[in-house]
Chains A and B, each alone.
Chain A
Amino acid sequence: MEAPVELRGVNFAYGEGELRRQVLREVDLRIGPGEIVILTGPSGSGKTTLLTLIGALRAMQEGQARVLGESLLGASEAQRVRLRRRIGFIFQNHNLLGFLTARQNVAMSLELDGRRTEAQRLARAGEMLGAVGLSDHLEKQPAQLSGGQRQRVAIARALAGDPGLILADEPTAALDKQTGQEVVRLLRDLAKGRGVPILLVTHDPRILDLADRIVDMEDGRVVQAAKASA
């Protein structure tokens, strides 16, 4: 079976001509089904860039990349938009829509899929919020929730549409250590239960042990792929 993420010889540069700056060099990366990979490395080493390429948020420049069975090199904007619907994103900030309730926010990730009715979407959103322990906060707006709760809504939103892959970039950066750890643990457990692979960028040493595998980046290269200290 094909791995959800399969990169080979990926290069990426920002800017043109004199300003051109190589950010990714010959990156190879494979994430197996259900695998949880943590990406670490110094600031500026290209982790976020790699994540945006895998998430089809940016156009590929060079190399082979297949994500959820789609080839990324030369993919059109429309193809990339379609691929994004099958990926769950979790950002540093929750980026919830302030004018929607928690449940409506989660349902937003289902509205692009015509298979469910409105009632089914809301029911599904309610279930997902229950799964992240927020069943008492379904109708609250983000402003009425704590930072950790908001990030949990974001997790529910990322998982609601049955994604084939979760991408998270420093999801704990805006949270205190304790809450951050709880949130990532929750994400890990939910993903494991569904067999969804995760690629997570973090600096937080306390969550490294949640990974199946840790990938280290430096100056645009993958320098070491270490097995997590189990």
Chain B
Amino acid sequence: MNEVPPPVKLLPWAPEHMGEAAEPPQAPRREPGVLAGLLLALRLAWRQLRADRARLATAIAGVMFACLLVFMQLGFRGALFDSATNLFRAMRADLFLMHPLTEASFRAEAIPRARAWQALADAEVDRAVPVYLAQVTLRNPETGSRRAVQLIGLDADAGAVDFPGLADVAAALRRPDTFAFDRLSRPEFGPVAAMFARNGPFPVQLGTREMELVGLVEVGPSFGADGNVVLSEQNFRRVFTRQAAQADLVALKLRPGADVAATQARLAALLPGDVLVLTHAEMVARERLYWETGTPIGFIFLFGSVMGLVVGMVIVYQILFADIAGHLSEYATLKAMGYSNGYLARVVLGAAVILAVVGFIPGFVLSTLLYGYVAGATFLPLEMYTERAVGVFLLIFGMCFAAGLLAMRKLRDANPADMF
């Protein structure tokens, strides 16, 4: 038997002298609570990140960059799809008739104008107004340069279709060779709205014809057109020649109190298959769907967002990986001290989460500023919606978390048995 050697003389720093023995007799060891353990892991991660300022700055810049890229891509995507449908969104009526092959407002398939009169057969349909769409050029009254503009021909008096501002100019549009200009058009058409506000009506060349600008409406530029012009059916034909029996849309006004859905169903049954009967919302959604799925635009922005996330993830992964690889012996020592693999994994994930939060905040602020700047420069409706901010944060969070999960595998190389 080994004898316990009697304690030598009490040393000056023996616990009895240090006051340590005063600690109350300890209960058996227990693990810190789940939350306390998480906070300690998070704190360790933060301390490690904070120690290397240059590396931290790189990581934050990486996350911020990804954040910015995703925000801009989603912002442009949303703005373009919003603005792509500007024309249809501004054109309000109870129901619309449209050719089934019409995918977008700038490229409408013609339908027989007779469908308008047929629709009137339904008792609930009060008025039916054919709408004509075409593009011609408008000459900038200041510089003389010409630019394509969207023509919208319709009988404004009928009151079936409403554009913001249209009611005020409806009377003036009845006169020959007059038109109303979209005050939200891109500035390349010249200071048309300002000139009108200052001097009243003035002549502008539309297509090959000299027309008189007699009022302003609000539509907004869209993908297909930088500006819009509203004029009467007769004036439309003066500027743009086409078959008289063809229209591009028919706008229907129902009697007050009419059941829109029921009328829509009756009309769909009544009319031949060369027209669809759509509500306003359905017509807008249909055009949006075309831009989203029928063009590579949606994919391009998706691709841009994914690229941003991939680049951000690689940067975060590199930083986290380098942090582990550079401290393998320290991590192994922690394992020897009784830290579990799970705890150290939480430290790495904690670092990833910290980077997500710390990188998102400046990324969000910068994106908001940039939205304002770009919206001013492009007239695209770029706006920081809450849902978008939350969505991007979740994406960035996921990106960092995935990077953390990848980097975590390096922890296996920290083997405490190899420490001695």
Return the chain A residue nearest B339 by Cβ: A112
Scan residues 83-134 of chain A and give those whose CB is less than 8 A from a CB of chain B.
83-86, 89, 91-93, 95-100, 104, 108-109, 111-115, 124, 127, 130-131
Interface residues in B, total, Cβ within 8 A:
47
Query: Is the Cβ of B4 less than 8 Å from the Cβ of A34?
Result: yes
| B40 CB within 8 Å of chain A | yes
Chain A nearest CB from B396 CB (Å) reads: 25
| A179 CB within 8 Å of chain B | no
Chain B nearest CB from A74 CB (Å) reads: 17
Chain A nearest CB from B315 CB (Å) reads: 21
Q: What B residues does A30 contact at CB under 8 A? A: 2
Chain A nearest CB from B342 CB (Å) reads: 9
| A69 CB within 8 Å of chain B | no
| A21 CB within 8 Å of chain B | no
* Proximity bits, B37-81, A CB within 8 Å = 1, else 0: 000100010011011100000000000000000000000000000
Query: Is the Cβ of B5 less than 8 Å from the Cβ of A35?
Result: yes
Q: What B residues does A51 contact at CB under 8 A? A: 420
Query: Is the Cβ of A192 less than 8 Å from the Cβ of B11?
Result: yes
Query: Is the Cβ of A89 less than 8 Å from the Cβ of B340?
Result: no
Query: Is the Cβ of A89 less than 8 Å from the Cβ of B336?
Result: yes
Partner of B338, one of A82, A93, A124, A157: A82
Query: Is the Cβ of A127 less than 8 Å from the Cβ of B18?
Result: yes
Query: Is the Cβ of B338 less than 8 Å from the Cβ of A57?
Result: no
Q: What A residues does B2 contact at CB under 8 A? A: 3, 30-32, 35, 213
Query: Is the Cβ of B340 less than 8 Å from the Cβ of A81?
Result: yes
| B259 CB within 8 Å of chain A | no
Chain B nearest CB from A24 CB (Å) reads: 14
Return the chain B residue nearest A58 by Cβ: B417
Scan residues 185-223 of chain A and give those whose CB is less than 8 A from a CB of chain B.
189-190, 192-195, 201, 212-213
Scan residues 49-86 of chain A and give those whose CB is less than 8 A from a CB of chain B.
51-52, 55, 57-58, 78, 81-86
A30 to B338 CA separation, bound complex (whole angstroms): 23
In this complex, the member of A35, A51, A91, A93 whose beta carbon has the largest number of chain B beta carbons within 10 angstroms is: A91
Query: Is the Cβ of A111 less than 8 Å from the Cβ of B4?
Result: no
Chain A nearest CB from B325 CB (Å) reads: 14
Chain B nearest CB from A75 CB (Å) reads: 14
Query: Is the Cβ of B40 less than 8 Å from the Cβ of A115?
Result: no
Chain A nearest CB from B10 CB (Å) reads: 7
A92 to B418 CA separation, bound complex (whole angstroms): 12
Q: A127-B20, A190-B13, A193-B10 are in contact. Are A52 and B32 (CB under 8 A)?
A: no
Q: What B residues does A148 contact at CB under 8 A? A: none
Q: What A residues does B8 contact at CB under 8 A? A: 192
Q: A84-B338, A111-B40 are in contact. Are A92 and B420 (CB under 8 A)?
A: yes
A31 to B4 CA separation, bound complex (whole angstroms): 10
Partner of A108, one of B1, B29, B327, B337: B337
| A147 CB within 8 Å of chain B | no
| A45 CB within 8 Å of chain B | no
* Proximity bits, B138-174, A CB within 8 Å = 1, else 0: 0000000000000000000000000000000000000
Q: Tell me if B's interface is mostly helix, strand, loop or mixed.
A: loop
A130 to B14 CA separation, bound complex (whole angstroms): 11
Query: Is the Cβ of B419 less than 8 Å from the Cβ of A114?
Result: no
Query: Is the Cβ of B13 less than 8 Å from the Cβ of A89?
Result: no
| B224 CB within 8 Å of chain A | no
Q: What B residues does A32 contact at CB under 8 A? A: 1-4
Query: Is the Cβ of A113 less than 8 Å from the Cβ of B32?
Result: yes
In this complex, the member of A86, A108, A111, A212 whose beta carbon has the largest number of chain B beta carbons within 10 angstroms is: A111
| B27 CB within 8 Å of chain A | yes
In this complex, the member of B18, B32, B36, B417 whose beta carbon has the largest number of chain A beta carbons within 10 angstroms is: B417
Q: What A residues does B3 contact at CB under 8 A? A: 32
A197 to B13 CA separation, bound complex (whole angstroms): 18
Q: A84-B338, A114-B32 are in contact. Are A89 and B333 (CB under 8 A)?
A: yes
Query: Is the Cβ of B417 less than 8 Å from the Cβ of A57?
Result: yes
Query: Is the Cβ of A115 less than 8 Å from the Cβ of B27?
Result: yes
Q: What A residues does B13 contact at CB under 8 A? A: 130-131, 189-190, 193
Query: Is the Cβ of A48 less than 8 Å from the Cβ of B329?
Result: no
Return the chain B residue nearest A193 by Cβ: B14
Query: Is the Cβ of A34 less than 8 Å from the Cβ of B5?
Result: yes
Query: Is the Cβ of A131 less than 8 Å from the Cβ of B18?
Result: yes
Q: What A residues does B14 contact at CB under 8 A? A: 193-194
Query: Is the Cβ of A99 less than 8 Å from the Cβ of B48?
Result: yes
Scan residues 89-114 of chain B and give those whose CB is less than 8 A from a CB of chain A.
none
| B372 CB within 8 Å of chain A | no
Partner of A194, one of B5, B15, B52, B419: B15
A113 to B8 CA separation, bound complex (whole angstroms): 30
* Proximity bits, A169-187, B CB within 8 Å = 1, else 0: 1100000000000000000
Return the chain B residue nearest A190 by Cβ: B13
A170 to B33 CA separation, bound complex (whole angstroms): 36
Partner of B11, one of A157, A169, A189: A189
Partner of B420, one of A52, A98, A112: A52
| B413 CB within 8 Å of chain A | no
In this complex, the member of B2, B15, B19, B32 whose beta carbon has the largest number of chain A beta carbons within 10 angstroms is: B2
Q: Which residues from chain A sit less than 8 Å from chain B, CB to CB?
A: 3, 30-35, 48, 51-52, 55, 57-58, 78, 81-86, 89, 91-93, 95-100, 104, 108-109, 111-115, 124, 127, 130-131, 157, 162, 169-170, 189-190, 192-195, 201, 212-213
Q: Which residues from chain B sit less than 8 Å from chain A, CB to CB?
A: 1-5, 7-8, 10-11, 13-16, 18-20, 26-27, 29-33, 36, 40, 44, 47-48, 50-52, 327, 329-330, 332-340, 416-417, 419-420
A-B contact pairs, 20 of them (CB 8 A): A3-B2, A32-B4, A34-B7, A52-B416, A84-B337, A86-B338, A89-B333, A89-B419, A91-B336, A92-B420, A95-B333, A99-B51, A112-B32, A113-B32, A131-B18, A190-B11, A192-B11, A193-B13, A195-B7, A201-B420
